[in-house]
Structure 1
Amino acid sequence: MSSEEPLQSAPSEENPEKKLSKKELAKLERQRKRQEAAAAASAAAGVSAVTLEAEDPLAENYGEIPLIDLQSKEISGKKWTEVKDLTNELKDQVVLIRGRAQAIRAVGKKMAFLVVRERGFTVQCVLTVAQDVVSPQMVKFATSLSRESIVDVEGVISVPTQPITGASQQHCLLIFEDAARSELEIEKALQAGEQLVRVNQDTRLNFRVLDMRTPANQAIFRIQCQVENIFRQFLLSEGFVGIHTPKLIAGSSEGGSAVFRFDYKGTPACLAQSPQLHKQMSICGDFGRVFEVGPVFRAEDSFTHRHLCEFTGLDVEMEIKEHYSEYLRKTLRLTFEEGVQMLKEAGVEIDPFGDLNTESERKLGQLVLEKYGTEFYILHRYPLAVRPFYTMPCHDNPKYSNSFDVFIRGEEIISGAQRVHVPEFLTERAQSLGIDVKTISTYIDSFRYGAPPHGGFGVGLERVVMLFCALNNIRKTSLFPRDPQRITP
């Protein structure tokens, strides 16, 4: 009810039948007082706002930046400093930073603490009322900021006598278990009877932009960037050529049903499951050694901790001189048959001509660690029946193939093989697996003009980072993951 609305008057003596009780009269009186108080507060607030703005001589030192000043209006020449670069060497210097208001705390009316975060690094800012610098209104404005707001702060660097535990400019240890708290911290809190908020993975992914701001995620994706960079730089140093292959293709690169199919201007097409066919065609084009970093699409229904429908592939293809295992000779290598035998001796029954499931791979990883003292090994000579059509069979037993997987901590991270480079044999292998060779005719024809023996492999970037950081789910290493149940954000 507004203050302008008249209160209901008490009935007159001439209308005794409408006379209100004492309780009702008291209620009306309380209502009248509330209206008067609200009107007075509203008027005072309006006057106060005008007075503060008019009387504060330091109003230009704070406030909302007008949109026009953020529309690339001009280059001011201001020198900006990143939070991560704030060190003791900058003591007593004036710096200008931009970041997010992570935490705000008022101490009376003349002091406030503001923690500013920029890409995982934080600094504590102290505002105290000082003549010609900071006004009480400025302190009040700072404490009214919404958390996660973008703020520009200019001030003098001061080095405290005691370390600031609430800021990152100290030595720190990152544990990649929870984006905000470690499992150890959570366990201690639960034992102490404390209640901590735990955000589940789906909620994090639904609000991924906010989740990215956590220090752990900032670190994870910087590690991922460097893994890709090291992969690229090493191959370039070894004479490889970076290529970019099409992702819209006719047929399917691997065969099988796990492909995203669509109509391409009246022609059946699909998203590439890998750059495999075009990698090999590049070898036929005399590039010798090629690699690609690009998206890979798999329309599989595997809703597991290590599968995605779209991920970043690190792919390699190269000529070989004599044998597909000419390199990595020092790495522990076990044949598929040896791996199956180790599992059988441990009581795990495996089809000798089938593939290993996730549980078998993990168990084999444990057995290898116990016997050989390593978590990194190669399993090769897989059954031909579980490998793609372009895989070269073994010379001594056509039931097995010149293929391999590389494992870390019991999980496969690399899959590769020597390829079939004889067109007639390639056609035969494709037909035996029910692949329409017409859809891959240009691929097969590229071998008719002469092709050297060659092989290669593919690595999933997200899976490598997941295992390297000892994370429990591949979605934590995909910026915006796509799985059978998620296509947003």
Structure 2
Amino acid sequence: MAEPSSTTQELPERPKGEEEGEKGEGEKGPSKGALKKAAKEKEKAEKAAKRKAEEAAQKAASEASDVSKADYGDLPMIGSHPYVPNADSATRIQLASLAQEEGDISGKEVTFRAIVENARNQAAKLSFVVFRQGISTIQGVVAASETLSRQMVKFAGGIPAESVVLVHAVVEKPKEAVKSTTIQHLEVHVKQLFVIAKADAQLPMQVEDAERPLPGEGEEQTENEGRPIVTLNTRLNNRVIDLRGKHNHAIFTIKDGVTLLFQEFLRTRGFLNTNTPCLLGAPSEGGANVFEVTYFASRAFLAQSPQLYKQMLIAARFERVMEVGPIFRAENSNTARHLTEFTGLDLEMAFEEDYHEVVSLLEELMLYIFTGLRERYKLETDLVRSIYHVEDFKLPAAGSVPRLTFPEGIAMLRADGVEIGDFDDLSTPDEKHLGRLVLEKYGSDFYVLDQYPLAIRPFYTMPSSATQAAYNPSSPNAGYSNSYDFFMRGQEIMSGAQRIHDAGFLEKRMREHVTPVDPNSDGLRDYVNAFRYGCPPHAGGGIGLERIVMLWLGLPNVRLASLFPRDPGRLVP
């Protein structure tokens, strides 16, 4: 039998910590510290909920009293809702046309889509927004009144730069000229303001940084107005933002203008626009500096020039042809004036008696382009030159373009201390040096150098008559040729020549050239055969579009004249 319990029996020991209100071993439940922490979290959540409710109430009250609530805000994404025509769609204006209106247009109501170049809250009742279209900018004023709320003023001043907006406003005349915009004699007082597409608040680079000048080749980068220079590499890596700069829009407007003027002039002279292949089955000019690509199960090559096809078209009885298209050169040149892909302005024409007929036409063409840029694109030219300070391009009078023979150019360089051989090709420093001498002597930034040494020209170049008369089989590349280069500010922009139009003579020159080529090779056989069927004498040239733009505007690097430049180290974006 079990013994009865005794009052004197020792009680079991109380678990440690129970006196402090903690649970004993084996018991479940939160500790006192955990309960205290939970209480704090609950209090914090209640305060946050209360604050959120208060903010929501304030917002609701603010919206209820916002007289402008229907006049500003973010629009739904265009395309996400059925399209309903607006009454103002047909009346939207362009800022450039607004600036050209004559007379007092104060009070005129306007609607336009624009980019926010910058926005700032000047005070609780006043914000300023600079709107931009293309290269035109205008100041917008958002001022609180009985019909325009402070909420709208605050909204306007907080729109991120580069956002796309729709603006309804009234044109007014400012008390004094607005010097920070291109349209300085007008401003717009905003009545409605809607965001069509909001830009990120943090951009990888600022557009205003893209509008600061880059240093020239060989110059060191320094700070500009206390801000670090954004390098060319950074700009090209973020090219979409970089291209938003007003000067970039001007550059590519001018580039388009050069193409327009080129075609405009030549069309009036009976030239036909053509499009020749860029994919070739074999290298066509000796195989050097050519890009090879995969073409199904075989190889193909990117055209270095439309040269051979232009000549074949002359043989096909298209006696005056032109072309604007891409040129590919696999040259590992990392200079400020070389690209691996650029745009060529090419032409070829049959002549009557002498190749200088073509040289004269080319001179007229270039003067037409330069004069057209000066007269039609002055605004864009002045804008870019305000960043890249360069003297105005000095033009000769029509019919008086300096045309030097190669020996005359060499003589000028030697007279100024340059050591150079009679038949040496000109280096870039030599070309620039000669350009300075020509400018000093003739007062022209544009000139022609004629009769280049035969040895430094392509195999299809016609030797000069004197060279042919003095032909020596032991030295077949001695003498000069009927070839020429055109220069702007001492840099080459065009290379051209009379081409050999006799198949037998062409084959001979191909075999004895400094770098011989096989006239029966896959890339040249059809070209040579084209001249077996009777071809008129002809000449032409290839002009580098980006170089014209670079040298006209004084840009420090040809990459600035290419939308998405390609060079030995760049294939993206």
TM-score, reference length from structure 2: 0.73
Cα distance, 1:13–1:397 mapped onto 2, change above 3 Å = farther
Does residue 150 (structure 1) correspond to residue 234 (structure 2)? The answer is no
Question: What is aligned with 1:442?
Answer: 526
Describe the superposition over 1:297-322 as per-residue Cα deviations: whole angstroms up to 9, x where unpaired: 11111111111111111101001111
Question: What is aligned with 1:308?
Answer: 339
Deviation at 1:488? 1.1
Describe the superposition over 1:372-430 as per-residue Cα deviations: whole angstroms up to 9, x where unpaired: 33332211111222111111111111522110001121101111000011112222333
Aligned mate of 2:130, from 104, 115, 136: 115
Q: How does 1:255-404 map to 2 (within 5 A)?
A: 255-326=286-357, 327=360, 328=363, 330-398=400-468, 399=478, 400-404=480-484
The aligned amino acid for 1:406 is F
Q: Distance in 1 between matches of 2:143 and 2:400?
A: 64
Structure 1 stretches lacking a partner, 5+ long: 1-10, 17-27, 172-177, 185-189
Question: 1:113 touches 1:125 (CA, 8 Å); kept in 2?
Answer: yes
Aligned mate of 2:485, from 373, 396, 405: 405
**Percent of aligned pairs with the same amino acid:** 44
Q: Distance in 2 between matches of 1:134 and 1:442?
A: 75
Question: 2:462 touches 2:500 (CA, 8 Å); kept in 1?
Answer: yes
Deviation at 1:73? 1.6
Aligned mate of 1:468, from 552, 555, 563: 552
Question: 2:121 touches 2:158 (CA, 8 Å); kept in 1?
Answer: no
Q: Distance in 1 between matches of 2:119 and 2:136?
A: 16
Computing the radius of gyration over CA atoms, which structure comes out larger, 1 or 2? 2
The aligned amino acid for 2:74 is E
Q: Distance in 1 between matches of 2:113 and 2:425?
A: 53
> Helix, strand or coil: the match of 1:413?
strand
Deviation at 1:471? 1.3
Q: How does 1:3-152 map to 2 (within 5 A)?
A: 14=20, 40-68=50-78, 73-78=83-88, 79-87=91-99, 89-131=104-146, 133-152=147-166
Question: 2:350 touches 2:539 (CA, 8 Å); kept in 1?
Answer: yes
Deviation at 1:164? 1.4
Cα distance, 1:45–1:321 mapped onto 2, change above 3 Å = same
> Helix, strand or coil: the match of 1:196?
coil
Does residue 235 (structure 1) correspond to residue 245 (structure 2)? The answer is no
Cα distance, 1:262–1:435 mapped onto 2, change above 3 Å = farther
Describe the superposition over 1:420-442 as per-residue Cα deviations: whole angstroms up to 9, x where unpaired: 11112222333443434332212
Deviation at 1:474? 0.5
Q: Distance in 1 between matches of 2:547 and 2:67?
A: 57
The aligned amino acid for 1:461 is L
Q: Distance in 2 between matches of 1:46 and 1:348?
A: 80
The aligned amino acid for 1:360 is D
Describe the superposition over 1:281-304 as per-residue Cα deviations: whole angstroms up to 9, x where unpaired: 111111211111111111111111
Query: How many residues of Structure 1 are paired with residues of Structure 2 in the alignment?
Result: 456
TM-score, reference length from structure 1: 0.85
Question: 2:348 touches 2:539 (CA, 8 Å); kept in 1?
Answer: yes
The aligned amino acid for 1:423 is A
Question: 1:253 touches 1:276 (CA, 8 Å); kept in 2?
Answer: no
Deviation at 1:70? 6.4
Cα distance, 1:369–1:110 mapped onto 2, change above 3 Å = closer
Cα distance, 1:141–1:375 mapped onto 2, change above 3 Å = closer
Does residue 418 (structure 1) correspond to residue 428 (structure 2)? The answer is no
Q: How does 1:445-456 map to 2 (within 5 A)?
A: 445-456=529-540
Deviation at 1:170? 3.4
The aligned amino acid for 1:260 is F
The aligned amino acid for 1:401 is S
Q: Distance in 2 between matches of 1:12 and 1:305?
A: 84
Does residue 428 (structure 1) correspond to residue 442 (structure 2)? The answer is no
- RMSD, aligned CA: 2.9
Structure 2 stretches lacking a partner, 5+ long: 1-16, 23-37, 186-208, 216-221, 364-398, 469-477
Cα distance, 1:392–1:71 mapped onto 2, change above 3 Å = farther
Cα distance, 1:315–1:72 mapped onto 2, change above 3 Å = farther
Describe the superposition over 1:94-129 as per-residue Cα deviations: whole angstroms up to 9, x where unpaired: 110111111111132222111111112111111122
The aligned amino acid for 1:246 is P
The aligned amino acid for 2:498 is Q
Deviation at 1:345? 3.1
Deviation at 1:89? 4.3
Question: What is aligned with 1:5?
Answer: none
> Helix, strand or coil: the match of 1:341?
helix
Cα distance, 1:33–1:435 mapped onto 2, change above 3 Å = farther
> Which 10-residue stretch deviates more, 94-103 or 162-171?
162-171
The aligned amino acid for 1:383 is P
The aligned amino acid for 2:529 is D
Deviation at 1:75? 3.3
Q: How does 1:235-254 map to 2 (within 5 A)?
A: 235-254=266-285
Deviation at 1:68? 4.9
